[in-house]
Amino acid sequence: MEICDNGDGTYDLTVGGESAETLDESDLDGMSPQQVVDATCEALNLLADF
């Protein structure tokens, strides 16, 4: 999973090499792009344990 800054206040979220969605700064809820990736990966790992 990665997040790329488009330089215009939007970010492309890629999961498994495929584009998942485009986020804007308000979607980050005050977190850095890296924090969003870390939190999303952690949530997906928790779901995979069930």
Distance CA 41, CA 23 (A): 16
Distance CA 11, CA 6 (A): 5
Q: Write out the H or E segment, with its range, that includes residue 35.
A: helix 33-48
Q: Is-contact 22 11, C-beta < 8 A? A: yes
Q: pTM of this prediction?
A: 0.70
Tens of pLDDT, residue by residue over 5-46, are 999 999 998 888 888 899 999 988 899 988 988 888 888 888
- Residue 35 is predicted with a pLDDT of 92
Which residues does residue 19 pair with via DSSP β-bridges, in sequence order?
Answer: 14
- Residue 7 is predicted with a pLDDT of 94
